[in-house]
Amino acid sequence: MKIRFTVNERQHECEVDAQTRLLDLLREDLALTGTKEGCGEGECGACTVLIDGRAVNSCLVLAPQVDGKSVLTIEGLAQGEALHPIQQAFVEQGGVQCGFCTPGFIMSTYALLQENPSPSDDEILTALEGNLCRCTGYTKIVEAVRTAARLLQETR
């Protein structure tokens, strides 16, 4: 079947099978490999993208479900060479080690800060509970989210 949708503000028209996962459509058909596959079962959050502003696990979404919708991936955040403030905050605060989980954390953070520009630590932890990191111990990630919130407020 044919679907039309927007990814990072660009229109796409793709021929997909009913069972194609959004994760595979992004990575294989559109070469947007910033979105990672960890568990493939909705447990790790490495594949998080936004659909119409809501953070979802793209391994659990079928391509036909995004017909007519707008998808934002990690590739849609930086402006040319300039990192998005959330990316900048993760780098500055040491919230990135191996980096495998990072796109997912950043997309979940993006969704959180759109909805709640000044989250408490508890709200940050709740928003990120679907994202797993094997490396950082989370403290630096929470610090990165706090820093990102501050940076975004300064640019508003």
CA distance 96 to 27: 21
| Least separation in angstroms between CB 110 and ligand FES | 17
| Least separation in angstroms between CB 14 and ligand FES | 20
Which CB atom, from 38 or from 156, has the smaller least distance to ligand FES? Answer: 38
| Least separation in angstroms between CB 36 and ligand FES | 7
Which CB atom, from 8 or from 100, has the smaller least distance to ligand FES? Answer: 100
Question: Which residues contribute to the site for ligand FES (CB under 6 A)?
Answer: 37-40, 42-47, 57, 59, 96-102, 133-136
Which CB atom, from 15 or from 129, has the smaller least distance to ligand FES? Answer: 129
